[in-house]
Structure 1
Amino acid sequence: MRICEGSMSLIDPTNLSAAELADRIAILRDNIRQITEQAASRSGAADEERNADRLAQQSDELDLLLKEQERRLSN
């Protein structure tokens, strides 16, 4: 299950295999890097707000997945 860009709902990390979880974490880290680079190269209030929203969404999902990964490693 994946999150759609622009969607505010996060995936349920408990449904992901360890490999899927690791892949999704890598994807989110890359997305955050790309959003940060885009924000640095663009200017304008609309772009800044859009990038801030996208960055917050991706960061929230990354935090959720990292917590699930940590939970699994501690069991």
Structure 2
Amino acid sequence: MSENLSERLIELEIRYAEQEKTIEDLSGEIAEQWKLISGMSKKLNALTNRFLELEEQTAPEVAVTKPPHW
């Protein structure tokens, strides 16, 4: 019976080590993805601002006039 418990304990330790490694790998992957998303978000904001600036520059100026019924 003691051998069976020993084998079970070893199996649990192996599973624990594998799960710990998987969690570390996933954590690193999430950190990399977060950096990528953050960089893309900054670029999107810069492009949006640039687009709005260009849109303002190319928009025709509408003259302010009184409606014909005034």
Q: TM-score interval w.r.t. the shorter chain?
A: 0.3 to 0.5
Looking at CA atoms only, which structure, 1 or 2, has the larger radius of gyration? 2
TM normalised by structure 2 equals: 0.45
Give the helix-richer structure, 1 or 2.
2
Flag the structure with more relative contact order, 1 or 2, with Cα contacts below 8 A and sequence separation at least 6. 1
